[in-house]
Chains A and B, each alone.
Chain A
Amino acid sequence: MKVRKLLMVIAVAASLVFLAGQVMAEPITINWWHAMKGARGKVVDNMIKAFNDSQSDYVVVGTYKGNYDETVNAGVAAYRAKKQPHLLQSFEVGTQTMMLSGAIYPVYKLMKDEGYNINWKGYLQPVLSYYMNANGDLMSMPFNSSTPVMYYNVDLFKKAGIPMLDKTKPVTWDELGKITAKLVKSGVPGGMVTGWQSWTQVENYSAMHNIAFASKANGYEGLDCELLINNPTVVKHVAMLKEWMKDGRFFYGGQKFAGPKAEFLAQNAGVYIDSISGIAKLKKAVKDFKWDVAPMPVESWMKNPQNSIIGGASLWVFKGHDKKDYKGVAAFMKHLGRQDMQIYWHKETGYFPITLAAYEQLKKDGYYKEQPYQEVGIKQLTRKEPTKVSRGLRLGYFIQIRNIINEELELVWNDTKTPQEAMDDAAKRSNQQLREFEKIYQ
């Protein structure tokens, strides 16, 4: 009997030790919910794999949760159910909502708490500044960032006798007016189209001309900000585009990118303004003509144009996990910022490398000699130190505001409103949204 008991005790003890050993050896899982699918999703998986292979304490698990809206909603629902992932990829327009959510662990703080002394000056400032608070502390880690540029059809340009455009010095809007006029005259159905009109023609237009989009430094310095897009310069720009519509120098192809892109591919338009991350898509889709990339046009009075602003998404760290988990999160953040990872990311997806070191290395390697398209965006983004009104936009209910701007612009394009009326209404309606948003956090 005694022997049996003893054996039992030994067995139990042994299994406990074994189990404990298992627990000790089990790496900590870090969940990352993202919105990258297809080719980009594979790149993300490879970056995760590189991290998991490099150490044995943590395992990062990346999960595709749908597009940006769906990913953010999944994050919101998970946080409410206390099942939040460690990392969530959220798009740039959701920055204010995430920042004020009270659900996040600011990245600058995480890195400091975990003992990483990161030289934030070594990052592309116009990218970081979009995700900083008013004190200049980084709230989320920029992940995929792009900026709008101008694509043009080389063949149609040649046919119309238009010289090719410079890759650094932007053309002026007046010059583009002449260019598109020539295009139309040469028989092209339309001159120019633009994707994401609010982002390219209002948000970026304002930044590059150093005009405030909203008061309180574009919302960085207070929730009580108001939209200022009904200023004479922006209204004049909209009026100019409307004027161009009369003779086909500009035409409307839809709010997002699919419509305008289709027009460019069908050679119905010679000039197409869209995100730099469209390069890969165009390379795949364009078969029957040559195209090139140039910086966004600026007004002739703007001698030294400001930086353009970014679009894309960043990684937010959720509160509510164990201290030891965050050690892994910080290590993974560090890994993503590594030079080789950034170079790989940039080469594969076309999104910017976020560190200057990676950019310099790419230049040294002669990458931009082979791929001159890619550098147009970086140069435009970094051509000047960002000012208070060109560093980014920090607005509550920004998604609604973009919708409002899109709607009001459409009402200009279809002759329902004058540019001044539409911009006044856009500002008025957006301000109502801003006031609603402000009330939540009072």
Chain B
Amino acid sequence: MGGKRCFVNSETMIKRSIFSSRTLPYLLILPQIVVTLTFFYWPAVQGLIQSVMRSDPFGQHSTFIWFSNFVTLFTDPLYLKSIGITLFFSMSVATVSISTGLFIATMANRALKAKAVVRTLLIWPYAVAPAISGILWLFLLHPSYGVVALAIKRWFGVDWNPVLRGSDAMFMIIMASAWKQISYNFVFFIAGLQAIPKSLIEAAAIDGASPFRRFWTITVPLLSPTLFFVTVMNIIYSFFETFGVVHMMTQGGPGGATNILVYKVYQDGFIGLNMGGSAAQSIVLMTLIIAVTLFQFKYVEKKVQYAG
């Protein structure tokens, strides 16, 4: 490895170190590359290969069938329905969790007495795993033993039955999935809010701007990088991690009403042992999430203001 040369740039007084060796940087990033290749690219390539094969679970009979698995998928009306369900579900989860998170963060950002305690308590739900969140909400909303479900049935006569009715089930998994994400969003929003200079808001207040106007024209634009980041993370969360919630609460039912894409992959691949079909679904899911993220970076990010 070559020696280290140090010199001082006289104009800016920044000290720079230059390593003359060409191999050293590669060596330094090697561990990262090895990890990425083994745990991300290799499985992805395996999935890609599997998706163009028709094979039995034990890998004894495999035939290359071009894109037949994909054709089967996209000619299946239920798969298209599942895509629709997933989009609706993830939009709803993101909307509910972002708006609630932002609301709570704005409230908690005010001068409260027990600020630290309130904030800590609000962060807690994020530590709950999605599957546990599903179970907790099931204890509230299950039609036969859910406390809230029984209460609203008895006192308000609401005909609540997520075991039978698809829309009720959908509402239930949206609530359970959004709930724990609210905390996550809250953490980022509160950090973002604290970075907004008080002087700007005070100046606007002196000029006579209403609280809502101050929020809309000062806080929201300055918060937009956080908002953008949180949206991306929420969408990814609702696509993948909500698996636990669905698995615990509805298993994709009733009648496939909550069968989101990631759950379908699990059912067809892991439970049903249809390797090719579920690999094709994973590829579609991967493409979809790449598309959503790219779209967000390309179009939404342009509207984001990073400078304060």
Chain A interface residues (CB < 8 Å from chain B): 69, 72-73, 76, 79-80, 94, 97, 100-103, 252-256, 259, 262-263, 266, 268, 397, 399-400, 403, 406-408, 410-411, 413-414, 416, 429, 436, 439-441
Contacts and interface: CB of A to CB of B under 8 A. Distances in A.
Given A255-B251, A259-B163, A400 B274 contact: yes
Contacts of B274: 397, 400, 436
Contact of B272 (A103, A253, A400, A410): A400
Contacts of A411: 255
Task: Give the one of A103, A263, A429, A440 with max B CB within 10 A.
Answer: A440
A416 B255 contact: yes
Nearest to B77: A429
Contacts of B271: 69, 399
Contacts of B255: 407-408, 410-411, 414, 416
A101 B144 contact: no
Contacts, number: 87
Interface string B122-166: 000000000000000000001011000000000000000001111
B273 A97 contact: yes
Interface residues of B, number: 30
B145 A440 contact: no
Nearest to B277: A436
Contact of B253 (A73, A263, A410, A429): A410
A414 B273 contact: no
9 contacts: A76-B57, A76-B58, A79-B58, A252-B164, A259-B142, A397-B274, A399-B271, A410-B164, A441-B56
B254 interface: yes
Given A259-B163, A413-B164, A103 B253 contact: no
B61 interface: yes
B34 to A, nearest CB: 21
Contacts of A102: 56, 58, 60-61
Contacts of B267: 400, 403
A269 B254 CA distance: 21
A interface: dominant SS: helix
Given A94-B273, A436-B54, 8 more contacts: A69-B271, A97-B57, A268-B144, A399-B271, A399-B272, A400-B268, A410-B253, A440-B55
A391 B54 CA distance: 31
A118 B300 CA distance: 72
A413 B253 CA distance: 12
Contacts of B58: 76, 79-80, 101-103
Nearest to A400: B272
Interface in B241-290: 251, 253-256, 267-268, 270-274, 277
A441 B72 CA distance: 18
Interface in B64-89: 72, 78
Contacts of B272: 397, 399-400, 403
Contacts of B55: 440
Contacts of A263: 144
A400 B252 CA distance: 13
List 6 A-B pairs, minimum CB-CB distance, nearest first: A410-B255, A410-B254, A411-B255, A102-B60, A101-B58, A262-B144
B3 interface: no
